[in-house]
Structure 1
C-alpha cells in the first residue's frame, strides 16, 4: 500500500500522453528520501523533476513518484566554472544567476525548465552536439542515493559503470542528490546568428555538412508537409557565441545583461481540431516566407528557448495531448532515412506542427546515451489514438532498417523488442541495474514498457 503521506495524482509527461494515476511524495531531506526508498515494500519509485520529459519516463502508474524540485540549492562555483549544486536546481535558475556572471551551460535542450537531475538522467543535448556532444561530457561527478539507502559518490574514476549507467539511465539506477557540472565562460548573453533558407532536404543536409566546423550551434525548422522538389525545405539557424564587439553599441556597456522577455500563456487546452493538415500547412508557408537570409545578434533566451516564451504551450495540442517522436539516423544514411520518414509522415496525413532537424557528433560513454554521428529529427504529432501509434511504429521500422534509434526522453509508444535492437548496449545497463537495484525499487511506466527493468 502507498505511504499515507502520498497524494494520488494523475501525471503525464509534457506531451500529456500517456496519463496515469500515481502516488506522489514531496520530501525535502535526504533522510526522508532514504526512509521512503527503504520502506517501499511492494511499491516501486521514480524521481521526477519539472516533468518536461515528453512521455512516461517520470510517470509510475499506481506506484510512487518522488518530486525533487525542493532540493534546489547552489552549493559552490569554482574559479574555473565547476558548478556543484543539488539535483532539483533548474537550468532556468542556473541561467538567471550565473549567465550575468559570465558562465553558461555547456549544452542545453530546447527548454530551460528542466532540473539538473533530470538533465543528467536524460543525458540532454542541444544545438551544439555536433561540436561538443551531450551533457554527460561535462558532468564531473554526482552523489547517488541507491535502492539500499546507501549514498555513492560516482565519477569516471569512482563507480564508473554506475556513473555511465546513470547518465542517460532515465532515473532507474537511483536518485541523483547533487552534481558537479563544468560550465563555459562567455563574454556576452547573446549569440551571433545567421539565418538561411533552403529549398529542400538535400540543400539542408548539405548546409549542415558545410558549416558544422564553423558554427558552434546549428538547428533547422523543417517543413514536413511539402513533397516533390520542395520536400524538406527548411529555415536553418547557425550561430556562435557573440563577442562584445559583435553587439550593438547600446549593448556593449552591459554585454551580460539578459534581455527580458514577456511570457505569453495558453490558458486552456485548445480544441483538438485546431491543429490539422490545413492549419499546419498554412503556418508552415507563413513561417518559411517570414524568414530571409540574414545575420543578426540574438539573445541567449530567444535562440536556445524560443518556446519557453509561451507558458503551457503543450495545451495547443488539446486534451488528448501529443507525441514527440525524435529519430536519429547515422550520417551515412541521413538523406535516404530522412526522405523516407518525411514521405511516411506526408502520406499519413498526420501533420507535425513542430519539426526540428539537428546535426550530431560523437557519442559519449553513457550506456544508454542517445546520440552518435548523424542527424536527428524531432516531430510533434497530435495524438489521434491508434493512428498515431501506428505511424510511430512505421517510423520505428525505418530506423531499425537504417541503424537509427529513438530518444527515451521523448518516447511514449516504442516497445521493448524495438528498443533492445536500437540500443545494443542495453544488456550492460541491465547488468548494472541488477547489481545496484536487485529488487527493482526504481521503476517507471516507461522502464517497464521498454524492458529496462530486469526480470
Structure 2
C-alpha cells in the first residue's frame, strides 16, 4: 500500500459493524507521508484510528479516502515533573497504560475501552466515570498539532489558536487530522482501585445513591437492568471507585503495587447466531446478574482493567451480536429532565422488544470542552441494541424523546441520527461551522456520518 496514493480498497465498519463501506485507504508510517496523502489526492478524506467508534464517524465510501493512522503511534516525550506526555495521535490508550502505570501514572480521563487512539479520544472529547468531577479529556490536553486541508500544520491549545482548538476537540476529525497530542497524565500510587458496589432497587434509589456517594469518590457508574419493569424499573448496581493507596492493598498486592498486567479472559473467534441475544435471554441474564451480589454494600480492591475495561478482556466481543451487528445508543439528558426522561426511554425500549445486553448509567458534570462536545450536566444512558426489525423505529422515537427533553446523542456512537434532530441537539453547530469554513472551505475532511447529518461548510 503506497501511503501517498490511497488506491487500495478495504471494507471498513465501526465497532458496531454497521454500516460497512468500501473505502480507498492510505496507511502512512510517518507524519511527512500523511501530508503527502493530502497533497497527492484532492478527494475528501477522514482519519481513522483504531476503528472503535461504533457507527460511521470514521468511515468514508469510495468517493473519498480513509487515512489509517494506527502506525503513527510513537511516544515522543514525557515530563515527569508535570506529567505531560507528548505522543502521536495513533497511540492507543492501552499502550500508554502499559508504559506509564508501572511508573505511577494513569490517564486523566478514560472511556470504557483502552483500545481507542489518543487522536480519536480528542476528536470526540471522550468522557469517563469521573466526568462529574473532572469533565472531558480536553480539560487535560495541553496542545494539539493539527494537519490542515492545505497541508500546513498548526499548534492549537487553550491559549494558542483557541478557537481552532475548541473546534478540533469534539470535532469528529472534520476540522483537520490530529497528528500529535500533549496530554497531562494523573499520578497514582498503585495499579489498583478501591471499589464500592451498591445495589439500587429502582431508578429513584439509584439517583439517591449517586447523589449521596459521588462526593466521596472520583469515579462512579451504574449497570442498569433496562428490562426491569414496574416497581423494579431502573434497578441497578452502582460502582464507585478511587485510586487505591498502599494502605488499601493486601500484603500480596503490596509486593508490587504498580504491577500492571492487562486482563485477557477469552477471544470470540466467530459470530454468534442471530437472535441469541433477545429479550428473554437478556432478561434472564440481568436477573441473575442483579441477584449475584447478595450484599447491598460491597467493598473490594480490584485492578485497573476489571474496574475500567471489563469488556476488553474478551477479544472481538462485538461478534456476540452476530453478523448484523449492533448499535450503541448513548444520550445525555439535562438534570431536570433526567429522571422522567430515563423512565420514558426505558419504557420505550421495553415496549419495542429489542433487548439491550449492556446498559450503563452515569452522572455527568457541567458542560465544558469543545463546541460539539457531548456531555451536559445530567445523566447519560448507553444501550447496546442488536440490529433487528424495528430498530430504526425505536431509535427515531428515542431521538425524538431526547431532543424534546433538551438532551443529545453521542456522535461517537451514532449511526442513525437525522440531520434536523442533530441540529436541534447541537446548538453550537453554526459556531463550529464558521471555524470549519475558514480552515476547510472545500470540505476536504468529511465522513459518512458527516454526509448523513448534512455537515458541510
Q: How far apart in 2 are the matches of 1:253 and 1:223? A: 38
Could you tell me how far apart the structure 1 residues matched to 2:277 and 2:201 are?
A: 25
Which residue among 426, 443, 446 is the counterpart of 2:449? 446
Report the alpha carbon displacement of residue 365 of structure 1 after superposing the two structures with TM. 3.1
String of CA shifts for 1:125-152, please: whole Å, max 9, x gaps: 1111111010010011011000000000
1:19 aligns with 2:26: no
Offset at 1:6?
Answer: 2.7
1:337 is matched with which residue?
341
* Residue aligned with 1:99, SS: helix
Compute the TM-score of the two structures, normalised by the length of structure 1. Answer: 0.97
Deviation, 1:364, is: 1.8
Over 3 Å counting, the alpha-carbon distance change for 1:68 and 1:344 in structure 2 is same
Aligned length: 451
User: Residue 220 of structure 2 corresponds to which residue in structure 1?
Assistant: 218
Following TM superposition, by how much is the alpha carbon of 1:28 offset from its aligned partner in structure 2, in angstroms? 1.6
Paired position in structure 2 for 1:56: 56
Query: What is the alpha-carbon distance in structure 2 between the residues aligned to residue 30 and residue 194 of structure 1?
Result: 44
TM-score normalized by structure 2? 0.97
> Deviation at 1:7?
1.5
2:422 aligned residue (419, 424, 436)? 419
Contact 1:38 1:147 in 2 (8 A): no
SS in 1 for 2:215: coil
- The 5 A counterparts of 1:87-106 are 87-106=89-108
Partners of 2:17 and 2:446 lie apart in 1 by 20
2-structure distance, mates of 1:451, 1:234? 38
Could you say which residue in structure 1 is the equivalent of 2:265? Answer: 263
The residue that corresponds to 1:319 in the other structure is 323
Shift of 1:451: 2.4
Shift of 1:31: 2.4
What do the CA deviations read for 1:42-61 (whole angstroms, capped 9, x no partner)? x2100000000000000001
Could you tell me which of 363, 371, 375 is aligned with 1:359?
A: 363
Q: Output one character per residue of 1:277-303: Cα deviation in whole Å (capped at 9) or x when no partner.
A: 011011101111112331000100110
Q: Is it true that 1:70 corresponds to 2:71 in the alignment?
A: yes
After TM superposition, list the pairs within 5 Å mapping 1:144-159 onto structure 2. 144-159=146-161
1:9-58 CA deviation, whole Å, 9 max, x = no partner? 111100001111111111122222112113322x2100000000000000
> Are 1:107 and 1:126, in contact at CA under 8 Å, matched by a contact in 2?
yes
State the match for 2:436 in structure 1.
433
- Quote the Cα distance in structure 1 between the aligned partners of 2:196 and 2:32: 51
Report the counterpart of residue 372 of structure 1 in structure 2: 376
Distance in 2, Cα, partners of 1:296 & 1:348: 37
Q: Deviations over 1:99-150 (max 9, x none)?
A: 1100100010000001100100011111111110100100110110000000
* Superposed counterparts of 1:10-409, under 5 Å: 10-41=11-42, 43-62=43-62, 63-78=64-79, 79-291=81-293, 292=295, 293-385=297-389, 387-409=390-412
Q: How far apart in 1 are the matches of 2:426 and 2:264?
A: 41
1:365-414 deviation per Cα after TM superposition (whole angstroms, max 9, x unaligned):
310001011000000110015x1111011001111111000000000000
Q: 1:4 to 1:116 in 2, by over 3 A?
A: closer
Q: Which 4+ runs in 1 deviate beyond 3 A? A: 2-5
Structure 1: which 5+ runs fail to align?
A: none
- By how many angstroms is 1:3 displaced? 7.5
Separation in 2, partners of 1:75, 1:260: 23
The question of whether the paired residues in 1 share the 8 Å contact of 2:4 and 2:34 is answered with no
1:165 Cα deviation after fit: 0.5
What SS does the aligned partner of 1:165 have?
helix
- TM-fit CA distance, 1:261: 2.5
* Higher mean displacement: 20-29 or 99-108: 20-29
**What SS does the aligned partner of 1:225 have?**
coil
CA displacement at 1:4 relative to structure 2? 5.4
After superposing the two structures, state which structure 1 stretch, 262-271 or 370-379, moved more. Answer: 262-271
Unpaired runs of 5+ residues, structure 2, are none
Deviation at 1:5, TM superposition (A): 4.6
Deviation at 1:359, TM superposition (A): 0.6
